[in-house]
Each structure stands twice: as structure tokens, then as C-alpha cells.
Amino acid sequence: MIERDLVIIGGGSAGMSAAIAAYDAGLTDILIVEKGRQLGGILNQCIHNGFGLEEFKEQLTGPEFMTRLAVEVKKRNIPIRYQSNVLDLTKNKVVTYSNAKEGIVKVKAKAVILATGCYERSAGAIQIPGERPSGIITAGTAQLYLNEMGALVGKRIFILGSGDIGLIMARRLTLEGAKVLGVSEIMPYTNGLNHNIVQCLHDFDIPLYLSHTVTKTYGKSRLEKIEITEVDEKFNPLPGTEKEFEVDTLLLSIGLIPSNDLLKKLGLPVSKARGAIVDEHYMTDIPGIFSTGNVLHVHDLADYVAAESRSCGKGAAAYVKGAWNLDSPSFNVNPGNNVLYVVPHRVRLANLDDHLTIKFRVNRPLKNQVLTFTFNGEVIKKIVKPIIIPSEMQKVRLPKEVFNTQEGELIVSSEDRT
């Protein structure tokens, strides 16, 4: 069987950044397995701006951002298998993949990084009532048809979900000649960045219906009409508030879910963020199997994916070199008041360089908050936040010194400022 020090599953923002960092940390025997024809993953179809401000201090489009990383990967001559799909991963890190040229290949790795990104929640997952004609499509798929194949999926569009992907596509489709009749969002607040609300909706006078959801779809072959209805705080439709729109396309932007099939196959537990449970170096409970990027938890910026995956790549290199003690004591990190999830979930203090980065999201928009970090009952850090929203991932650096012991529990919460 072929052997590799490190196999990285996925060559997008996460996989590339992890590869570069692992290589630069001295682990040079790497193989990237990528299912597409090119590196970059979803960035290839994200032709809009908004990438690179953190990583490169420049405003870049998705393809430009991914090219920066791809150039670094190729400079290091890291082997890549394209149009290759991973079929299996075992607990002892045997990766089985398939492609046309090599057939089915088994590789025994010392470390594996899962960097497989995420997929879009489907209409069936939220059980949208009504008929199921063509024309009901997720925003990312419409984006793929448009930006890669040059095909417009519809001419009269309604968008469900005010997340950034839906907003970006509202603008994109309008510029390409479609009419976007509205966006509905089930929450009383929007999920998208203000920047996108302004430049994707306000710029084109596209109405946003907060606290509304799609309650019926009509059409035998192709979508003909949709009905949206206002909802109460418990998300129950309020009778009498129905509005109908004659459209041929319902674009779904209702959430991203980590593609964690391999986790399920390994019998590993899944976190509140629907990704793996990991330690301070993004390693799962199986020594040598790591997870990073959108498959770990959905990020808002590819820049953050790159930063996290660099840490993961470094971590994988250190693991393979036997640089740390897996048996050293650890403390758990858990979400507290108003916090939806935290990453990482477990920390071996002895393995940290000089700081710990905690990432988390609050579970609803909040004002006048104090982000509170409580370690074994004692508050070790407070950060004042005038405004904090779920769609903005929070990143906080805690210096190693603030932890006075290696075991116990760190709780991350958001409290009202008194």
C-alpha cells in the first residue's frame, strides 16, 4: 500500500492552507485529494469581492483569493490528485479514493486532514409545503450554473433566506437580466452582512420580508407561484398574512451544513456546529485525524478558513513528528449563555504555543454585551461588545498564562452589560 505522511481530503481554501502550513513546518510528504478539476473548491464560483481583506489586506474575488493559495501549493510541488473522490477512511488512517486514471487507490497515512467543506440545506430538509416542480434550487447551484456554465436558471426569482449567498445571487441574477421579486427571512433579523443588504438588495430595490417564510410552492412541471407568510416568535405561520408571487424560480439560501459523512462512517461524534469534536490543534478523538474549515464549522470568511487551516496543518506536522504528548491533561470548552457553539472543544494546555484561539457564535443578535470567559468558575477574560450577531463568527485569543491549571472547563458566554 502507498504510504504518505499526510493526506488532505479537499483542495479548497482549507486544504490548500493546511498543506502549505504543514509543508513549511517540515512535513513535506503530502497528498491532496480533490474531487474537482482544479484547486479552490467553492471559491472558483464565488466571482464576487469580499475575500482577502484579512489574509492579504486586499479586496479580492474568490478566484483571485484561491489563486494566491494555489500558487503557493504548486510552488512547493505538493502532489495533487484531481477528479478524485474519497470513498472511505478508516480509524487507522487508510484513505481509499477513486479516479479514472488510477482506479481505486488505498493510501496509508500518518495523519489525515478532513477539509471537505460544506453543502447547502435542501428544500426537503425544511419540508417546504407544496408541489415539487423544477425551479426550486439552492443559491450555490444557481451560482454554479451561472458562473461556470453561463446558464441562467430562471427569469423571475424569489429568494428564501437572507444569508450572504442568497443576497449575492440576488445581485448577480439581477445584473444578468433576471427579476428578483423579493427575499424572505424567517428570523426577525437578517443573516447577511449590511454590506450585502445595501449592495445586493437596496441597490436594486429588492424588498426584504423579515419574519416571513415560504408556505407553499405551486407548479406541476416548472415553478409558477409561491406563497410567503409572516410567522410569529415560534415560527408558526400567521393566517391572513399570506403574500403570493408569480415566479419561475425559488432560490434557497437556508443554511450550510458541514459535509461530514466520513465522520459518521468513523463513528465520531458530531458537534453543535455539525462538524467534528476537536482539540486545540483541530485533531479529532482519533489520533492523527484532523478537521478544519467549513467541514468543522461554517465560516463567514474564507480568510478565517485559511487562518484556522494553517493552525491545523501545523498541528498535523507536529503530531506526525511526535512533538507532543497526547496523554497530557485537557480541559473542555463549552458554550454558555447565548452562545451557539465553540471551537475547539477540548484543549491540552501543554500543547499550546503561547495562546489559544477560541471561535464561537452567539445564537441571536444582541446589544450591549460582555463576552465572558469563565475557567473553572473564575472569570478570566471579558470583552465588551456593543453589537454582536450570529452571522459574524467571533475569534478571541487567550494567552496561555490565563489558565492556572490544565484540567476543568472553560465556558464561553455572552452576558448583558450591567
Partner 1 sequence: MKELICIICPRGCRLKVDDNLNVTGNLCPRGIIYAKTEMTNPTRVITSTVKINSKNAVRLSVKTAQAVPKAKMFDCMRELDKVMVEAPIHIGDVVIHNICETGVDVIATKDIEE
Partner 2 sequence: MIDVIIIGAGVVGALIARELSRYQLKVLVLDKENDVGNETSMANSAIVHSGYDPVPGTLKARFNVEGNPMFDQLAEDLDFHFGRVGSLTLALSEEQIPVLLKLRKLARLNNVEVKLLTPEEIIEMEPNINPEVKGALFAETAGIVDPFNMTAHALENAVDNGVELHLDEAVTAIAENNKDKTFVVTTNKASYQTKLVINCAGVFADAIAAMVAKPDFSIRPRKGEYMILDHYSPDLVNSTIFPLPSEKGKGVLVTPTTSGNYVLGPSSEFVDEKDDLATDKATIDYVKKSVLNLVPSIPFGEVIRVFSGLRASSNHGDFIVEEMKGHERLINVAGIDSPGLASSPAIAKFVVEQLVSKHLTLRNNPNFNPRIRPYINMKALSFEEKNELIKKNPRLGQIVCNCEKISLGELDDLMSRSIPPRTVKAIKKRTRAGFGKCQGSFCQPAIVKYLAEFYGVDLTDVLYDKGGSNIVKCSTKECKI
- Pairing relation of β-strands 30-33 and 2-9? parallel
Residue 269 falls in which region: left (phi positive, over 0), alpha (psi -120 to 50) or beta: beta
**CA-to-CA distance for 116 and 254, rounded, in angstroms?**
20
User: Which class for 124: exposed (0-12), middle (13-18), buried (19 or more C-beta within 10 A)?
Assistant: exposed
The nearer residue to partner 2, 129 or 188, going by C-beta atoms, is 129
- DSSP letters spanning 344-355: -SEE-GGG-SSE
Of the candidates 155, 195, 355, 382, which one interacts with partner 1 according to CB under 8 A? Answer: 195
By CB under 8 A, residue 123 contacts partner 2: yes
404 binds, among partner 2, partner 1, none (CB under 5 to 8 A by kind): none
**What's the distance, CA 161 to chain centroid?**
16
Residue 91 found at the interface with partner 2 (CB under 8 A): no
* Binding characters for partner 2, 137-156, by CB under 8 A (x = yes): xx-xx--xxx-xxxxxxxx-
Give bridge partners of residue 378 from the DSSP assignment: 375
Q: Which of 37, 57, 127, 386 binds partner 2 (CB under 8 A)?
A: 127
Q: How far apart are the C-alpha atoms of 66 and 309, rounded to whole Å? A: 14
Please pick, from the candidates 103, 240, 322, 386, the single residue that binds partner 1 as defined by CB under 8 A. Answer: 386
- CA-based diameter of the chain, in Å? 66
Helix (H, G, I), strand (E, B) or coil at 57: coil
Task: Compute the least distance from the CB of residue 295 to partner 1, in Å.
Answer: 25
Q: Give the one entry of partner 1, partner 2, none that residue 154 binds, where binding means its C-beta sits below a cut-off of 5 to 8 angstroms depending on kind.
A: partner 2
Q: Which three cell numbers stand for residue 371?
A: 463576552
* Residue 215 and residue 129 in contact, taking contact as beta carbons nearer than 8 Å: yes
Residue 361 bridge partners (DSSP): 341
For residues 25 and 46, which CB has a smaller minimum distance to partner 2 in the complex?
A: 46
Among 112, 183, 197, 208, binds partner 1 (CB under 8 A): 197
Q: For the CB of residue 66, give the shortest distance to partner 1 in the complex, in Å.
A: 9
| Stretch 133-152 residues interacting with partner 1 (CB under 8 A) | 146-150
384 binds partner 1 (CB under 8 A): no
- Smaller CB separation from partner 2, 32 or 412: 32
What nine digits make up the cell of 127? 419540508
Q: Does 58 bind partner 1 (CB under 8 A)?
A: no
The closest alpha carbon to 192, from 239, 244, 135, 255, belongs to 255
For partner 2, which is the closer residue by CB, 254 or 411? 254
Q: Establish if 122 lies at the interface with partner 2 (CB under 8 A).
A: yes
Distance CA(180)–CA(173), nearest Å, equals 7
- Only one of the segments 61-69, 222-230, 277-285, 322-330 lies at the binding site for partner 1 (rule: CB under 8 A); that segment is 61-69
Say how far apart CA 80 and CA 33 lie, in whole Å: 6
Site residues (vs partner 2, CB under 8 A) = 35, 83, 85, 87, 96, 98-104, 106, 119-120, 122-125, 127-135, 137-138, 140-141, 144-146, 148-155, 176-179, 215-216, 218, 220-222, 237, 248, 259, 261, 264-265, 267
Site residues (vs partner 1, CB under 8 A) = 37, 44, 47-49, 59-64, 67, 146-150, 172, 175-177, 193-195, 197-199, 202-203, 386-387, 389, 392
